[in-house]
Amino acid sequence: MSGTQKYSTEDISRAAVNVRKRALRLALDHKHGYLSQVCSIAEILAALYMRVLHMGESLGDPAGEQFSGVPGPGNKNALTGARYHGPVSAEYDRYIHSPPHYGTAVYCMLVECGRLAPEALEHFDKDGWKLELISAEHSPGFECMTGSLGQAISVAGGIAHARKKKGDKGRVICLISDGEAEEGQIWEAVQSAAALKLDNFIIYLVANGQQCEADTIDVLGLTPDDFANRFKAFGAVTVTVDGHDVDAIAAAADTPHTGKPLAVVCRTNATQGIPLLERNRSHYNHIKFDAGELAEYEAFYAQM
């Protein structure tokens, strides 16, 4: 959570609504955006940042930061977006966010929990700033470049392994999407985490049933139950929750899983909170507004 502040269920639910509203405003201003992702993940992020995660105060500039190059040994001035999660000390949790096209939701959530100022969103998708439409390791709230989808879970598992060997108290929580869970690397990482007994590792899966060009059921025939069964088969303790129920999402993190990683499958609706998107289903992975849609969505925004 942000500092030592306690948030009620109503606070967290309201933050999720505000995440959608802020994201819709950004999409309207830019005439395009990744809105179905925000609809799917708003309650999950709100529950994680405001109840589940134990993080220190942000070390990032609340006004946002200008791009200073890719982090690495040759560029000491470049810093990862994990600074907005605070120190990486042994007692704190680490949050690894995988799908970079969900970045809009992360930025808006950082605003809701006081780690970014609202004014920082004025730099969203602007040249020279870190709040990119498709996030990278320097973007606020992101710790690593996930490259092709499916890679972040391996990074998170490696961090969890190192932390366990060092005796760190903090957990590692990684969020992935169901589309990327079609990648074999996901299941290799889960299998390794189980073999290494990484009970400091929690994986949240956003199961909204859609990916870039089709529904997941139409690509490899996979349902949320299929993903849950796979997690179990590869050695993780697994629970399935309503991905829009903030109490259930948060409570899942307390599921006993001694000696095993924990996987939380969150069933979500890709149009939750913005039902107008249902009409754009054939192309709502990334929506571009025409003039008529802009007017209608503006009217909807005014009533949110």
Query: What pLDDT is stored for residue 3 in this prediction?
Result: 44
Residue 172 main-chain phi, psi, to 5 deg: -120, 125
Query: What pLDDT is stored for residue 273 in this prediction?
Result: 96
Query: What pLDDT is stored for residue 291 in this prediction?
Result: 84
Low-confidence ranges of the chain (pLDDT < 50): 2-4
Quick: pLDDT tens for 275-299. 999 887 666 678 888 888 899 999 9
Query: What pLDDT is stored for residue 290 in this prediction?
Result: 86
Query: What pLDDT is stored for residue 75 in this prediction?
Result: 63
Q: How many angstroms separate the CA atoms of 247 and 270, rounded?
A: 20
Segments making up each domain of the chain, as ranges: 9-66+77-303
Q: Which helix or strand (DSSP H or E) is residue 287 part of?
A: strand 287-288
Whether 60 and 120 have beta carbons less than 8 Å apart is answered as no
Instruction: Fill in the DSSP letter of residue 180.
Output: G
Query: What pLDDT is stored for residue 176 in this prediction?
Result: 96
Q: What is the 3-state secondary structure (H, E, C) of 162-181?
A: HHHHHCCCCCEEEEEECCHH
Quick: pLDDT tens for 230-286. 999 999 999 999 999 999 999 999 999 999 999 999 999 999 999 999 887 666 678
Amino acid (1-letter code) at residue 91: E
Mean pLDDT value across the chain:
91
For residue 19, which of 53, 1, 45, 48 has the smallest C-alpha distance?
A: 45
Whether 159 and 172 have beta carbons less than 8 Å apart is answered as yes
Query: What pLDDT is stored for residue 209 in this prediction?
Result: 75
Query: What pLDDT is stored for residue 145 in this prediction?
Result: 81
Q: Domain 9-66+77-303, CATH 3.40.50.970 — does that match? A: yes
Residue 72 neighbours by CB distance under 10 Å: 9
